[in-house]
Chains A and B, each alone.
Chain A
Amino acid sequence: MKKTIIVFSGDMDKVMAAFIIANGAAAMGDEVSMFFTFWGLNALRKAKKVKVRKNFIEKLFGWMMPRGAEKLPLSKMNFAGMGKQMMKMIMKKKNVNSLPELIEMARDMGVKILACSMSMDVMGIKKEELIDGVEIAGVATYLGEADEANVNLFI
């Protein structure tokens, strides 16, 4: 049965947990929909800067927020990025999939990735800046998906 996950957090560890659950559920044969909102959207940004028209505030937002999965901070012990680097090193050594790998796996498995249009508007994130295969939607889409699901997580 379907699972839905709301990804609100833009912290690397939390987004990783979301994708591990999503991939696991897909491997159990379940349909999965992930709904990215607010800080979670940063996980879906392309690593490369994309040329789009933005006003001053939007540019500022875009510049201050992490651009893509690789850049997300840790929720604890980030220590201005040093903690995150150390965590990434340990994870690599222990053969844990990185966040970009987990995202790629999820797309391979057919996990539906939805981006909240309202948050995109607030944060000035344009569709072109998001990785391919992301669908733009609103709360009704999420609720519609949740109605068909038996597990719903807010991360």
Chain B
Amino acid sequence: MKELYINARGMQCPGPIMQLHKTLKDAEPDTEVVIEVTDSGFKKDVQAWCKKTKNELVSLNEEDGVIIAKIKKKS
């Protein structure tokens, strides 16, 4: 299974969710993507994004101000 990576560190809202959208738009179902974000709003945003776009939030962690989310494409 393919795993993609997005470095969205330093990017401000709405940059990170736009990157997610672009990356997963043309990806195969079940593709996993790991995104690293420093925008503190992203922790809630990624949950809202996944819920709305019906993708699966596999994991969500924060280390030293960096939010790391793993998302699996479902829709």
Alpha-carbon separation in the docked complex, A143 to B22 (Å): 30
Decide yes or no whether A122 CB sits under 8 A from chain B: no
**Contact residues of B with A, CB < 8 Å?**
10-15, 17-18, 20-21, 48-49, 52-53
Q: Interface residues of B: mostly helix, strand, loop or mixed?
A: helix
In the assembled complex, which residues on chain A have CB atoms less than 8 Å from the CB atom of B12? 94-97
Interface residue count on the A side (C-beta < 8 Å): 13
Partner of B13, one of A24, A26, A28, A109: A24
Q: With an 8 A cutoff between CB atoms, is A29 at the interface?
A: yes
B48 to chain A, nearest CB (A): 8
Task: Let me know if A29 and B11 touch, CB within 8 A.
Answer: no
Q: Judging by beta carbons under 8 Å apart, are B13 and A27 in contact?
A: no
Give Cα distance in the complex from A24 to B20, angstroms: 11
Q: Which of A11-40 contact B (CB under 8 A)?
A: 20, 23-24, 26-29
Which partner residue on chain A sits nearest B25 by CB separation? A29
Distance between B66 CB and nearest chain A CB, rounded to angstroms: 15
Complex contacts, B49 vs chain A, CB 8 Å = 27-28
Interfacial residues, chain A to chain B (CB-CB below 8 A) = 20, 23-24, 26-29, 94-97, 105, 109
Complex CA gap A95/B17 in Å reads 15
Q: How far is the CA of A109 from the CA of B22 in the complex (A)?
A: 9
Determine if B15 and A97 form an interchain contact, defined as CB atoms under 8 angstroms apart.
Answer: yes
Q: B53 contacts which chain A residues (CB < 8 A)?
A: 28-29
For B11, the chain A residues whose CB sits under 8 A away are 95
What is the bound-complex CA distance between A96 and B48, given in angstroms? 21
Contacts of A105 in B (CB 8 A): 18
